[in-house]
Amino acid sequence: MLKKIAAAVAVLAVSAGAAQAREFADIYTECGLGAMIAPNNGTVAAITNVTWDLGTTAISSNASSADTCNGGKKKVAALLINSYAQVETDLAKGEGEHLVALNVAACGADNGTFKTALRQEFAALVAQPGYAGQGRVEKAAALYDATAASVRAAQCAI
């Protein structure tokens, strides 16, 4: 099993390309599902990324929105993975302590533009076919990407 994982990592390393500004090891520890599940443990994050989907989400999140998987994003990832149901409820209501916590974690302060943008992103996620059938980790990963888009829309930084 370990040889298969090592081979997969090697293949992904080659496919990631030399133009990648971020070190390959950082992608596996700071991006993707692994960073969401284990934001404070790089080893567990890397193992999770490799075993979950051979690191595809880590590489794609780095490629599509590299700013969302810097080390400072760990609070947002931890909040989403640990409190997804509560965040989802607060987003649907448009208020609540988990939405405020997410707002502060993502923007450093209460930001109405962020909340509005995130609620729009969330509405689009919920409207997608198959959303209801997704697991908590899949939903949290999608909301993490939506949070990154909302941070950009609100022009705030973690």
State yes or no: pLDDT of 49 exceeds 60.
Answer: yes
DSSP state of 41: -
Burial of 59 (0-12, 13-18, 19+ CB in 10 A): buried
Specify the amino acid at residue 40: N
Question: Of the ranges 24-33, 77-86, 107-116, 124-133, which is most confident?
Answer: 124-133
The model's pLDDT over 67-107, given as tens digits with 9 standing for 90+, comes to 556 544 667 877 888 889 999 999 999 999 888 888 877 87
State yes or no: pLDDT of 28 exceeds 70.
Answer: yes
CA-nearest of 51, 50, 52, 53 to 25 is 50
| Average pLDDT of every residue of the chain | 76
As a dihedral over the C-alpha atoms of residue 90, residue 93, residue 97, residue 98, rounded to 10 degrees, the angle is 10
Q: Give the model's pLDDT for residue 137.
A: 86
